[in-house]
Amino acid sequence: MTVSLKNTSGRLKVIVLAHETFCAARGQCGCDVPAGRGARRTPRSLTLATGMTATGLDEAVLALPEVRRALQRGEITVEREVPAPPRTPTGLRRRRGAGRHSPAQEEAR
């Protein structure tokens, strides 16, 4: 499930997606590994301008202590995003009259 975070603090918020907490809670690493630096991981970050909402974030972001503190202080708000129900392909639905022949086609038979 994904979540949305909205910055209500009135100032810029930068949240470091620390490998030890974010990636561990997520179950897979989301860090950058730039070329030339060996296997050293560089954690990503999330920047929220005043009043900005970041959508589609992994629920693991709620495991970060920095996010929990900001939620307690009222500096950010969180909203869980419910996934949209799967759509049935329109080509699989049978249209009314599908499979029937027109009178002209019946005469040709």
Q: How many domains does the chain have?
A: 1
Residue 109 placed within a domain: no
Residue 10 placed within a domain: yes
Q: Are 11 and 50 in contact (CB under 8 A)?
A: yes
- Of 74, 46, 39, 41, the C-alpha closest to 60 is 46
Dihedral in degrees, nearest 10, Cα atoms 40, 12, 9, 54: -60
What pLDDT shows up at residue 50?
Answer: 93
* Amino acid identity for residue 41 in this structure: R
Determine the structural domain holding residue 39 and report its residue range: 2-83
Residue 16 placed within a domain: yes
Residue 94 placed within a domain: no
C-alpha–C-alpha distance, residues 46 and 14, integer Å: 6
Encode pLDDT of 11-57 as tens digits: 999 999 998 899 889 999 888 887 775 667 888 999 999 999 999 99
